[in-house]
Amino acid sequence: MAMPEAIDWEDVDAFRIGGTRKEEYEDLDLDDYLGRLGEEKSNITIERLRTRHVSVRFSRSGDFDSRWNVYQCLVTEQRLGSQLHVLIEGRWFVVSDSLVAKVDEFASSLPGPVTALIESKAGEVEAKYNARLADSAPSDLLLLDARIKRPGGASSGIELCDVLSARGEFIHVKRKTRSATLSHLFAQGAVSATTFVADGTFRDELRKVVEAETQEPQRTIWLEMIPNGKSFVDRSKYSVSYAVIANSSRSGTDWLPFFSKLNLMQNGQQLLNLGFRVSISRVAIT
């Protein structure tokens, strides 16, 4: 299950799902929902899924807001014969075999991250996870989450990454909620890396953050990792590491929805052409 629209997870307090009365959920988890339905799950029909509502309570409000029906929140990929069928946001799509093979080959070819990623805690928002990750190796990892800087001449800011590693990894972290959310993650990695290379003003602004928030000897390490605006950027020193917080028992990259893998391929190829290394990994939830 996943929300069929983009919502800031940090603002979400709890969910309610039709058919389980007043019970509250920390996440939209299909196994949890079916478990709480108990014997009632034998009465599930598509029509009932379309009439049962999913409500969300935001931290700023004490009331639940009915936003979607259960069917809209179901995500699945199923093969009928030789064709892949995808259900997302209440609609079915058929995907050609040749495209599936191409996308799967690209995703499976990507390595895992160089940095050892810690597990996420149940219900933990991305900001807290990023802070814990940086604290797990303070001499090797620098927290840059929410350090949004404006490139030269731009009207809006760009976040370089959530966590920067001393080995040149731009680590981007996202909780897996829907394909569009992950598509934004993959695009964000491509945009920030391109800006890092092309915009000297952007790098100078990042260096100001490092100078203000770090101490020696790590400060020198981080400043060497972010060349000043007039210096050459050796792209071979850097990599973009996508870390997706998700519960799954699937191997390889099968835990990624097809449309997410498609966007990963599109943005990943752009990064590889720029000279960056690219990695993808799943962060388990405990």
SS3 118: coil
Backbone angles phi, psi at 174, to 5 degrees: -145, 140
Q: Which pLDDT score, from 0 to 100, does residue 59 have? A: 80
Establish how many alpha carbons lie within 13 A of residue 236's alpha carbon, considering only the half-sphere containing its beta carbon: 0
Q: Which two tokens stand for residue 33?
A: 């929902």
239 C-beta neighbours (distance < 10 Å), count: 22
Backbone angles phi, psi at 180, to 5 degrees: -65, -35
Q: Which two tokens stand for residue 195?
A: 């800006």
Mean pLDDT by 10 residues, the chain (286 residues): 74 89 86 91 93 90 89 89 88 92 95 94 91 95 86 70 96 80 87 94 94 92 94 96 90 86 94 97 93
Q: Which pLDDT score, from 0 to 100, does residue 266 have? A: 94
**What angle (nearest 5°) sits at the alpha carbon of residue 128, between those of residues 157 and 166?**
70
Q: Which pLDDT score, from 0 to 100, does residue 180 have? A: 62
Report the C-alpha gap between 114 and 53 in whole angstroms: 42
Instruction: Tell me whether residue 250 is exposed, middle or buried, using C-beta atoms within 10 angstroms of its C-beta: 0 to 12, 13 to 18, 19 or more.
Output: exposed
pTM of the model: 0.77
Report the C-alpha gap between 169 and 175 in whole angstroms: 19
